[in-house]
Copies of this chain bind each other. A is one copy, B any other.
Amino acid sequence: MIRTPYLLFLGDAPDQLAAKVAQGIADWRPENVVGQFRMPNCKADVAAKDMTLAEAYEAGARTLVVGVANRGGVISEAWIDVLCEALEIGYDVASGLHNLLRDEKRVKATSQRAGRTLYDVRVPTVSYPIANGVKRSGKRCLAVGTDCSVGKMYTGLAMDAEMRSRGMKSTFRPTGQTGILIIGNGIPLDAVVADFMAGAVEWLTPDNEPDHWDHIEGQGSLYHISYSGVTLALIHGGQPDALILAHEPTRTHLRGLPDHSLPSLEALRDTALPLARLANPDCEVAGISINTKALGEDEALRLCEETEARMGLPCVDPFRHGAGRLVDALAGI
């Protein structure tokens, strides 16, 4: 478990998009954010208070989270200066970058000398078991997508937030590096060894109270041939009681696969549900989540209404319109 609260490191982000990890934390766990640390030429801003390392530590921050993508596959000397200073002050440092903190000699040595912890959240740290398929208590919801990167994580975070605001028992269960940094724990599923994928998901979502919901972060798509195996392991290890179908309506082909078109929502439903029922015979498709970011307000509402009528399932953009109707749809499950 990464120590909270955080100081968000935005570095020298060239634009707002480069800081999307920091934005995700600020959007979904503002209570974990003491402030943001920006270098002189930083072009991103997640609307947190600008603070020095010393000020934020004084204000309670205990982990400096790298909330920005690095450039050119290297961690610059300027970044390393900041990370080392943070370690000296008493911060742990957490990162989801491909370049690992532990591989940076100066950062590693400073963390050891200062007795602080480096969290490279892309790297599994647990020996996960082989999945045993035994039914677990409590309820689980999983978003499955017509493609990668269509809003599955935001759907789960929004449903979790809605449930907690209603006083319901709910936990978001991260399976990727952004989710792990937002919540402070989880499994980096795409980096787990093949035989242990489903077991890692079982480990992530243990027995729980009968009225507790785990919102498991989705990954990949059954239709995306590069990552479909990860998705199926998530479905079978997660043994969800409810599936949410997730879609982005402007995608012209599967991400990174120009020769592969997206499935219809009907096809996704008909593929995912029978597979999910192998692990949990009671699984149902509960609703549809559409990422309408690229659409105007009228167009977004019209698409959701049309899709809802066509599919006979509640359909919303949970980030734009709230996840209330998706949470309502879980009531009978």
Using a CB–CB cutoff of 8 Å, the interface residues on chain A facing chain B are 130-135, 189-195, 197-199, 222-223, 225-234, 236-237, 239, 256-257, 259-260, 271, 274-275, 278-279
| A229-B260 in contact given A271-B274, A274-B271, A278-B223 (Cβ < 8 Å) | no
A256 to B192, CA, bound (A): 21
B229 close to A225 (CB less than 8 A): no
Task: Please give, as numbers and ranges, the residues of chain B lying within 8 Å of A134 by CB-CB distance.
Answer: 259
Task: Please give, as numbers and ranges, the residues of chain B lying within 8 Å of A222 by CB-CB distance.
Answer: 232, 275
Closest to A230 in B: B194
Task: Please give, as numbers and ranges, the residues of chain B lying within 8 Å of A236 by CB-CB distance.
Answer: 225-226, 228-229
A190 to B236, CA, bound (A): 16
| A229-B232 in contact given A192-B194, A194-B197 (Cβ < 8 Å) | yes
| A194-B233 in contact given A133-B259, A134-B259, A271-B274 (Cβ < 8 Å) | yes
B279 close to A197 (CB less than 8 A): no
A35 to chain B, nearest CB (A): 33
- Name the residue among A199, A229, A231, A275 with the largest chain B CB count within 10 angstroms: A229
A279 to B193, CA, bound (A): 23
| A131-B225 in contact given A232-B232, A271-B274, A271-B275 (Cβ < 8 Å) | yes
Task: Please give, as numbers and ranges, the residues of chain B lying within 8 Å of A198 by CB-CB distance.
Answer: 225-229
A191 to B222, CA, bound (A): 21
A195 close to B199 (CB less than 8 A): no
A322 to chain B, nearest CB (A): 33
A132 touches which of B131, B132, B226 (Cβ 8 Å): B226
| A225-B133 in contact given A232-B232, A271-B274 (Cβ < 8 Å) | yes
Closest to A225 in B: B236
A120 to chain B, nearest CB (A): 14
A76 to chain B, nearest CB (A): 25
Task: Please give, as numbers and ranges, the residues of chain B lying within 8 Å of A231 by CB-CB distance.
Answer: 229, 232
B229 close to A233 (CB less than 8 A): yes
Closest to A189 in B: B194
Closest to A229 in B: B233
B132 close to A195 (CB less than 8 A): no
| A257-B194 in contact given A228-B236, A237-B225 (Cβ < 8 Å) | no
A57 to chain B, nearest CB (A): 36
A257 to B256, CA, bound (A): 36
The 10 closest A-B pairs by CB, nearest first: A229-B233, A225-B236, A229-B229, A190-B195, A131-B226, A133-B225, A229-B232, A232-B232, A133-B257, A194-B230
A78 to B135, CA, bound (A): 44
Cross-chain pairs A/B with CB under 8 angstroms, 26 sampled: A130-B226, A130-B256, A132-B256, A133-B226, A133-B257, A133-B260, A134-B259, A189-B194, A190-B193, A191-B194, A192-B193, A194-B194, A194-B229, A197-B229, A198-B225, A198-B226, A198-B227, A198-B228, A198-B229, A225-B239, A226-B236, A229-B229, A229-B232, A229-B236, A232-B232, A271-B274
A190 to B232, CA, bound (A): 15
Task: Please give, as numbers and ranges, the residues of chain B lying within 8 Å of A257 by CB-CB distance.
Answer: 132-133
